[in-house]
Every structure is written in structure tokens, then in C-alpha cells.
Structure 1
Amino acid sequence: MKKYIFSLIAASFLLTSCDREESLLQTEPQGNVSADQIQNLLKAFPEKATTVLGGAEAGNNNYLIQFNTNGASAHDDFGYMSVRTGLDHMTNDLVMTQSHWFNSYYNYLARGVSNSRTQMVWKYEYKVIYNMNEVLKQLLGAQEGDSKHIKGRALAMRANAYMDLLLTYSVGDQGVPYYSKGDRVVENPGRLPVSQVWNYIIEDLTIAYDLLQDYTRADKQSIDKNVVAGFLARAFMASGNYSQAATFANLARQGYAPMNSTQLKDGFQFISNPEWMWGADINSSTATLYASFFSHMSNLNQGYAGLLGVYRTIDSRLYNQIPATDERKSWFLSASQNGLPKYANVKFYDNTFFEGDYVFMRAAEFYLIEAEALARSNNESGAKAVLEQFVKTRDASYSAASYSGAALLKEIRKQRRIELWGEGGEWWEMKRNQEDLVRDYTGSNHATFGKLNISHTDNRFIFQIPQVELDVNKEVNNP
């Protein structure tokens, strides 16, 4: 794995903490580098200015994979994957066998106003937004060369952070505080309406997609037009524009073929996997050791799962829906084996010392989004064609011909739950599909401390804005 060298200026700017006795949406500049210095860097060395995005996109000093973003040294706080992994612990499909790190997500306490996990999620996302706003402030009107590419990537990162916040914290039509710099200047410390936040997200992503049309990235750690198309597909699905969701899902997956049988069993540890669209190339300099994805999610590695036995397994109901002919059945144990419990996942493992790469986005998701979006747009033949094309790469005997109507949507939903198990995003899908949490059932393999049944209409499906924000921002509340 490569090591990356970043400018001292960019690193010190982006990694300056926002832990101050002020709102997490503070508007004044922070850090040791002035706005003039950043602007001079962008003007004088535009080809090197991508280092400014290093704190949110790629390489060493990468905020996406930084340990301790919340300042509490918690081992379930290691950047973007800790957010996605934490929320996955709130689903029906992921089982945690012992109470340890991530247990507050599993038992639905993480979303409480005074819980450090809601504070971590909130601070992480708004720090990304702050960083990107500081970049965009220096790129007013940029429409050419490297500057426009940097602008496009910053817009996309900001939009993705707002999308995460909206999916996690919105209540009815009450969205989240919105703050932007650059071509659009907005200061709204209150809960902006959900529809307005979606408008801003989609506007930013549309501009970013156009700005990145002629951009060729150095590696998969950087955002390009395919990744932005993926963000747009997610945003259009979440906001109910199925026609556009299908269009951008198809655009997102272009050039990325589904992985083959061998690659399906590579441990999901290599960013070189041809299906991965965006991820982090972890190396000895960026590895966060026991506070990392593989430490918690790999039952086969030296970490909290593999070493201490805080195993992650699949829900038995979902496992039983995977046909024996499906390659993905081998991701989970059919019986207790080598000390691991029945249903333990062997999907994730890395053959290094915590240097397994992180996947943030891969093409499989967009086959499934396209299929669902087509089905919801009354194009069942198109939906079944896309679904069958994809699932046949996992199960050669698969056919989608018999599905239609609600049964087709249910089948697409099942395929997504199987395919993307443990990769993040499932709790947001449960909310979008208005699905209840049902873990206490006859034959349940869920741990006692997480054996909950919660209606999707329950307030526990909404994260509360953390107390640290309420203390300094009187414009927000938790209904």
C-alpha cells in the first residue's frame, strides 16, 4: 500500500479540532492557516491543491479514517466507517454477540441527546462540512482546470455529509442546520426544512457532476464523476425521484463490473477490487489498529471480534433466505466452527496487521438501486433485467422472471440486504422503507441486550441533536 506525503499547510488546516465552547456550526475561521494562505496555495499550486482535500478524501491525514474525531478516545470512533458501522448495528440483520464497543447502537441508546455517539456522528459530519466550506470559500466561480475539479469534489463531500445528517436526524419536515460557503452562502443554525436541504444537496451534486466530467483521478480514494453519480442516485432514491435515481445509478456503475467468485471471497480488504468505486487505502501510517473496521467486524482477525469474541453474525432469518447455490452463502458459517458461532460472518477479514482497506462505495449498490427505481417507475421488465443481470453473478441459477409488483420490490430489498451486509447504509434503508426493528422472535439469534422490537414510527428511529449543540445553539431542539 502506498504512503502519501501531504503539505504541512493542508494538514494543519484540515485537522485542526473544532472542539471549542461554541456551536459546532461556528462560522469564524479556525486553525493555524489563514484564508489568505489557503487561497495563495490554490492559486500558486492548483495541481497540488488536492492536498487540501486530503483531510476528507484520501491518504495520510485523512479525516474519513481518523481515530478519535470526538475527542473521547473511544474505539468505535474511527471516521466515516465508524458512523456507517455504528448505524448498521441498529438494523435487523447484524447481530452483536457480546456487549462491547458499538453496544449503544445495538441497544438503541446511541441516539440519545446525551450519548457520546450522537455527538460523534454530529461532530464528524459537520467537521467535514466545515472543511469543505473553507475550501469552497476560496474557489468562488471556479469553472476551469484543477480548481474546478477541487471545487466539484468539495461540493460532493459537503453534500454527502448533509445527506447523512438528514437521513439520521430529520424529524418529519424538520431537517438539520445548514451552513454553506462558496457560490452559495447560507447561515441557518435552525432546522432547515427537509425539502430545502434535499434541494441544496442535489444542486451541489449536480454541479459537482458537471465539474468532474473531464477529471481523471489518481486513485480510488478521490471522488470522481462516477462516485458523484452514486451520491445522486442515493439522494434521488431517498427523496423519491425514482426516474432520476435509475438514471444516475446506471451512470454510477459504468466501468465497474460485478466482482467474480474469487473476488467475492477476498475479505473485502483490497481497494484494487474492480467493483470498488470509492474507498480508503489503509497502510501502516493510517491504520488505527484496534479502533478500526476490521477489528470490530472481522471474526477472523486480531481485534475486538476475533480476539475478544465480540462476534458479528448475520440474522438467522436473512441467512435462511440465501439459496445454497448463492456464492454469498459462504460469507457466513452454517454451523459453529473453529470457535466461531453459527452464522458468524467470514465476509470481512484482512491478511495484514489492521491494514485492510475500507470500501465506501461499490457498483453492486447501483445495480440494486437501478432495479428498485425502475420497478417503482412501473418499468418492471427493465427492473427484472437489471436485477437478474446482477444476481446471476452471485448465483448462476438465479431468475427474476417470476417476480412482479410488491413481490419484485421485496426481492430487490432482500438482495440488497444480503449483498451489502455489514457495509453501512442498511439502517437508512430501513427508515426509507418504513420497516420495523424486529429482533425478538421465535428462534432469534440476537443477543439478549439487543433483542428489541421497535416500530419504525417510534422516535428511537431518529437521532437526537446532541446536548453539546443544544447548549450553544438555541435555534435547534429535539421535538
Structure 2
Amino acid sequence: MLRKIYMYLLIVSTVLFTISCSEDYLDTTPTDAISADDALSSPENMMLILEGLHRQMYAQSPLPGAESSRSGQSHFIPALDAMGGNIIHSSPGNGWMTSDLQWRTHINAGSTTVENFWYQRYHFIASCNSIINEVAEGEFVIDEEMNNILAQAHAYRAWAYHQLIMTYAKGYLVGSPDTDPGVPLLLATEAPYTSQPRSTVAVIYQQIADDINTSIGYFKNASAAANKSHISINAAYGIKARIALSKGAWKEAADAAALARSGYSLIDEAAWKTGFNTTDLSEVIWGGRVIDAETNYFQSYFYYICSTFNGSQNRSNPKLISSELYNQIPATDYRADAWLPLAPNTNSGASNDQGGSYETDPNYDNDDDFWDAWEDIITTYGMTTGHNTHPYMNVKFLQKNPGTTDPDDVIYMRSSEMVLIEAEAKAMLGDISGAQNALAILGEKRDSAFDKTAFGTKESLMDQIKFQRRVELWAEGFSFHDNIRWDEGLDQSNSGAAEVLYQNGFMQAKPSVNPKWIWKIPQAEIDANPNLTEDDQNKY
């Protein structure tokens, strides 16, 4: 396995979350560390391992050899949406993710992005393996606390393998799962840790299904989740719904999604417009409750995506919604307020060559109106005078303390997503009325004029479901894998994206005929794993 992952050393690393990214992990002994021998000795210490995983979802990575700028879901949620075409960059900014949206990073086996995505998820798998195997081989009392620990370990392992198989292998619905190569399946914790060859996509999916079902079984007799950073039974059902959706198990997806959202009511207009900066929102099922001392500031999710964050990435490069998508939002849908189509283009370095003054911005014909509009946005949303604005910029994500670098929570799963999974699954089953009713749960909450009967065929339902996912879940990390599931390519011609900036990411053929939707296996893994050779690498 990459970097010769030693299971017990990785277990210790999960709790070393206060280490500076410049320190050498193996030479550091912080006061809150536990030894490798003690890591699995008690339920309390096993929970510490899981706490480390919760933090790895959003915080700077303390893993040996990992790049802190690719920190868990904080990085990969917006990166996948940049690659999937849902987030539009208005300029090169400070260079963040330029190579991702240009479709250069994930096809480079030596890139940090490719390596860290793989490495961090196998770290989750290794840590979960150690918990699961130690309990199976030991003499622990299986009480509510241990059921909770085992449930989360199995859920995390299912989540990690699902992330890997969707990204480094051909999509289940556009490929041949029984024969397509997947990723190495690692379940053991004993030496010599030399990893495994690539199992098929079908084999990995079977392990994922076994894990998530086992997780749910444990959760039924487990103590309650401590907070939303922990995986709960609802989050486990949500993971199951995502897994089933990605493989076309439509009834299973619909049923699991309904169970996942039970008890998590959809937010109203006032809550929707507060900025998606807290897991306290009623419909958040799973998310990172960010602790101030453990955030990653200029590598945080809000640094990448939030227009008010006081960082160079956002001051010069506010993130946009596709103008083509935005213009489909009805006037009766309050989500239209989450983007500003007439924001003045104040950045002279904007990639569409329309920035810098009213003379180049087609929406303005005089200097006063141009700069008055900029000032109004800056004042309304709490940005600094160093922030630029741009047409179609997002104000969906807003900091609790705008214009600062203060941390905010990171949301991984909402009940709105589960409603849309249920609607999609029922549409694909041909259950028109069931899909209409599911879609109406969200549509009527967001749009005062929503009429479910306008979508009376499978095709019209799917068109509306795709629209709703792209608007409701904008910048929440789904578009890259959605395109694979739907077998849809990229065409940014009418989005507002600049071809000079996007280059190869401006247009890509659909996944069923285009192997570039599959990420390269890290070269370091090919070099270190005796069971893999260059012949096992994904080819383009």
C-alpha cells in the first residue's frame, strides 16, 4: 500500500490532530497522543480513533507525507464540483484548483490531488479495519457504546471504499462491474501490509454493501451520536442511499433515502439564506462541527467557496453558478437570491475580459452605477474593500463572521439530497406519481409556484431532478459523480466559464466513451504495491 501504511501507526496518527503540518509525525509525542499498543485497548481509545477520523474530514491533515492543502472533504467537495462543471471560476485567482478545473490534475498519476484522495481514504479504511478486527478477535463487551463504535467504523469503511471506487474506476452504470478493475480490497491488519491487486468493481461494491448493512445493524442497538460530526444511523442510511443510487439499485436507494431524512425537516427560506455555515440547520444529517483550534483557515471549505471569506482566492475569484443554469430558476423560487446575476465585474483580471470598469462590463453604462453596485454588495454581505464582485457570483455560502478567516462548519449530507435521491430512484423505476410526490417535498418548499404535475413522464422528471440537484446542492460536491451516473459530458459553452481558463475542462465527452472521467491511480501506489504494475494503471 502507498507509503507502506502500517496500521497501528496510522491509528496513532488519527489522534495527533494538533501537530503542525511542518513537523515530522514520527518524531512528535504530543501530550494528547496514545501509544500504538494502547490505541485499541479500550472502547474509549477506539472512540478517540473515530474522533480523529471526524477531524480528518475537514482539518489540516497530520498524516505522514500528506499535503495539508488537500485536507479531507474541505478540499475535495469543491474540487469535485469544479471538475464537474457546477462551480464556475471567474479568474485564475491565486491558482487554487486551476489545474483541477482544466482537467490536468486527476489524469496525472504524480499529482498531489490524486495521491491524497487515495491515501486519505485508505487511511480511513486502515483505521476502521483495526477497530473491526480487534473487536472480532478480542473479548470486548458488546454494549451500546461498542455497537456505536463498530457501526461508525463499518460506515466509514463503506464511505471510503465508495469514494474510491466511484473515482478510480469506471462508473457502475456505464461500465461492466463484474470485469472492470476497481481498487485494492484491504480488510486485514496483520503484517506485511503489502496491499492487494485491484479487485473488480462488483467485488468492491459487494464489500461496501456488506459494510453499510452491518453498520446499520449495529446502530439499531447503539448509543446515540454525540453530535453531527459523528456518523449516526440516519447518516448510515444516507450513505446506503448514495451507494444504491450509484449502482442503479433504485428501490434500495429510495427506501434508504426516506429512512435517512426521517426526523430532519427541510429548512425554510430564512434558514436557507443564512449561509450554510452550521450543522445546526434542521436538515443537516452529517457534517463537520469545526473546532476553532483545529480548522485549516486558508485551506478550509469556506476559503475555497465563500465569497465573503477574507482570502486571496475569493477576493480575486468569486465562484459563480452557470448563467445557463441560473436563468432556468423561476422568479418564484427564492433560491435565485443565492447568486447575483448583475454584480459588477470589478476584477480587471477576470477571465471573460469584461472586468475592471463599466466600460467593459455590459451590464453597466456609467462609473457611478458600477461602483455603487459593488459597494452595495460589499456592505450587504460584509466583504472587505479588497473583494471583487462578478456577475452570477454566489452568496449561498456566507460566513457567520463575514470578511474574516474565522472557521465555519462543513456540511456533508442534507435531507434535501435524500429527497432528490428518492425522487430520482422512483423516476428510474417508472413510478411517476411516487417521483412527483417526492420531488414536490423539495420543490414546494423552495418555489411558491412549483407544480409537480408539470413533470408527467420519466424524461421530464429526470430533467427536473437534475436541475434541482444542480441548484439545491450547488458546491456541495456532487456534480462530478452525478455526471458519471447520468452519463453526461461537459459543455461550458453557455455557462459563463471562459475557455481560455478552462481549457480541456471546457468540454469533455460523456463518461461511457471517455476514460478521462476515471482518475489515475497514484504513481506512488504503483511503485510501492508489489501486486500492481504499470499494466494496472488506468489508461487514456
The corresponding residue for 1:107 is: 102
Larger CA deviation: 65-74 vs 164-173: 65-74
Summarize the Cα distance change of 1:75–1:322 in structure 2 as closer, same or farther, 3 Å threshold: farther
Query: Is the Cα–Cα contact under 8 Å of residues 245 and 370 in structure 1 kept in the other structure?
Result: yes
Pairing of 1:164-183 with structure 2 (within 5 A): 164-171=163-170, 172=175, 173-181=180-188
Query: Is the Cα–Cα contact under 8 Å of residues 279 and 289 in structure 2 kept in the other structure?
Result: yes
The corresponding residue for 2:151 is: 152
What is the rounded CA distance, in whole Å, between the counterparts of 1:305 and 1:317 in structure 2? 24
Is residue 18 of structure 2 the alignment partner of residue 14 of structure 1?
A: no
The corresponding residue for 1:402 is: 454
Q: After superposition, what is the alpha-carbon deviation per residue over 1:244-292, rounded to whole angstroms, capped at 9, x for unaligned?
A: 1000000000001111111111111011111111111113212211111
Instruction: Return the offset for 1:144.
Output: 3.4
The one of 456, 459, 464 equivalent to 2:515 is 459
Structure 2 letter corresponding to 1:168: T
The one of 49, 69, 72 equivalent to 1:52 is 49
The corresponding residue for 2:488 is: 435
Is residue 354 of structure 2 the alignment partner of residue 346 of structure 1?
A: no
The one of 205, 222, 230 equivalent to 1:222 is 230
Pairing of 1:64-75 with structure 2 (within 5 A): 64-68=57-61
Q: What is the TM-score normalised by the length of structure 2? A: 0.78
Summarize the Cα distance change of 1:187–1:258 in structure 2 as closer, same or farther, 3 Å threshold: farther
Query: Is the Cα–Cα contact under 8 Å of residues 90 and 390 in structure 2 kept in the other structure?
Result: no
Structure 2 letter corresponding to 1:130: A
Q: After superposition, what is the alpha-carbon deviation per residue over 1:43-67, rounded to whole angstroms, capped at 9, x for unaligned?
A: xx5xx7422211112xxxx111221
Greater Cα radius of gyration, structure 1 or 2: 2
The corresponding residue for 1:137 is: 133
The one of 90, 99, 111 equivalent to 1:97 is 90
What is the rounded CA distance, in whole Å, between the counterparts of 1:82 and 1:10 in structure 2? 21
Structure 1, unaligned stretches of length 5 or more? Answer: 1-8, 20-30
Query: Is the Cα–Cα contact under 8 Å of residues 292 and 354 in structure 1 kept in the other structure?
Result: no
The corresponding residue for 2:360 is: none
1:259 partner SS: coil
Instruction: Return the offset for 1:237.
Output: 0.7
2:520 partner SS: coil
The one of 36, 42, 65 equivalent to 1:34 is 36
Query: Is the Cα–Cα contact under 8 Å of residues 59 and 295 in structure 2 kept in the other structure?
Result: no
Larger CA deviation: 293-302 vs 335-344: 335-344
Summarize the Cα distance change of 1:442–1:384 in structure 2 as closer, same or farther, 3 Å threshold: closer
The one of 257, 268, 273 equivalent to 2:276 is 268
Query: Is the Cα–Cα contact under 8 Å of residues 322 and 329 in structure 1 kept in the other structure?
Result: yes
What is the rounded CA distance, in whole Å, between the counterparts of 1:81 and 1:284 in structure 2? 15
The one of 252, 274, 299 equivalent to 1:291 is 299
**What is the RMSD of the two structures over their aligned residues, measured on CA atoms?**
2.4
Q: After superposition, what is the alpha-carbon deviation per residue over 1:154-211, rounded to whole angstroms, capped at 9, x for unaligned?
A: 00001100000000001342111110148xxx98611101111111101110010111
What is the rounded CA distance, in whole Å, between the counterparts of 1:229 and 1:200 in structure 2? 16
Pairing of 1:243-258 with structure 2 (within 5 A): 243-258=251-266
Query: Is the Cα–Cα contact under 8 Å of residues 102 and 502 in structure 2 kept in the other structure?
Result: yes
Instruction: Return the offset for 1:75.
Output: 6.5
The one of 209, 219, 224 equivalent to 2:216 is 209
Q: What is the TM-score normalised by the length of structure 1? A: 0.88
Summarize the Cα distance change of 1:296–1:34 in structure 2 as closer, same or farther, 3 Å threshold: closer
Is residue 82 of structure 2 the alignment partner of residue 82 of structure 1?
A: no
Pairing of 1:312-461 with structure 2 (within 5 A): 312-337=319-344, 338=374, 339-352=388-401, 353-403=405-455, 404-439=457-492, 441=493, 444-446=496-498, 448-451=500-503, 452-456=506-510, 457-461=513-517
Summarize the Cα distance change of 1:71–1:299 in structure 2 as closer, same or farther, 3 Å threshold: farther
What is the rounded CA distance, in whole Å, between the counterparts of 1:292 and 1:444 in structure 2? 26
Higher relative contact order, structure no. (Cα contacts within 8 Å, ≥ 6 residues apart): 2
What is the rounded CA distance, in whole Å, between the counterparts of 2:146 and 2:399 in structure 1? 37
Query: Is the Cα–Cα contact under 8 Å of residues 371 and 412 in structure 1 kept in the other structure?
Result: yes
Is residue 323 of structure 2 the alignment partner of residue 306 of structure 1?
A: no
Q: After superposition, what is the alpha-carbon deviation per residue over 1:423-455, rounded to whole angstroms, capped at 9, x for unaligned?
A: 11210111111010112x257434522142111
Instruction: Return the offset for 1:335.
Output: 0.7
What is the rounded CA distance, in whole Å, between the counterparts of 1:38 and 1:70 in structure 2? 16
What is the rounded CA distance, in whole Å, between the counterparts of 1:275 and 1:34 in structure 2? 38
From the two aligned structures, give the one with the greater helix fraction.
2
What is the rounded CA distance, in whole Å, between the counterparts of 2:66 and 2:10 in structure 1? 24
Query: Is the Cα–Cα contact under 8 Å of residues 249 and 369 in structure 1 kept in the other structure?
Result: yes
What is the rounded CA distance, in whole Å, between the counterparts of 1:205 and 1:56 in structure 2? 17
Query: Is the Cα–Cα contact under 8 Å of residues 132 and 154 in structure 1 kept in the other structure?
Result: yes
What is the rounded CA distance, in whole Å, between the counterparts of 1:358 and 1:380 in structure 2? 34
Count of residue correspondences: 445
Percent sequence identity over matched residues? 25
Query: Is the Cα–Cα contact under 8 Å of residues 490 and 508 in structure 2 kept in the other structure?
Result: yes
Query: Is the Cα–Cα contact under 8 Å of residues 294 and 354 in structure 1 kept in the other structure?
Result: no
Query: Is the Cα–Cα contact under 8 Å of residues 290 and 304 in structure 1 kept in the other structure?
Result: no
Structure 2 letter corresponding to 1:108: W
Structure 1 letter corresponding to 2:134: Q
Instruction: Return the offset for 1:138.
Output: 1.6
Query: Is the Cα–Cα contact under 8 Å of residues 10 and 126 in structure 2 kept in the other structure?
Result: no
Instruction: Return the offset for 1:73.
Output: 8.0
What is the rounded CA distance, in whole Å, between the counterparts of 1:114 and 1:52 in structure 2? 29
What is the rounded CA distance, in whole Å, between the counterparts of 2:336 and 2:519 in structure 1? 33
Structure 2 letter corresponding to 1:177: P
Structure 2 letter corresponding to 1:207: T
The corresponding residue for 2:114 is: 118
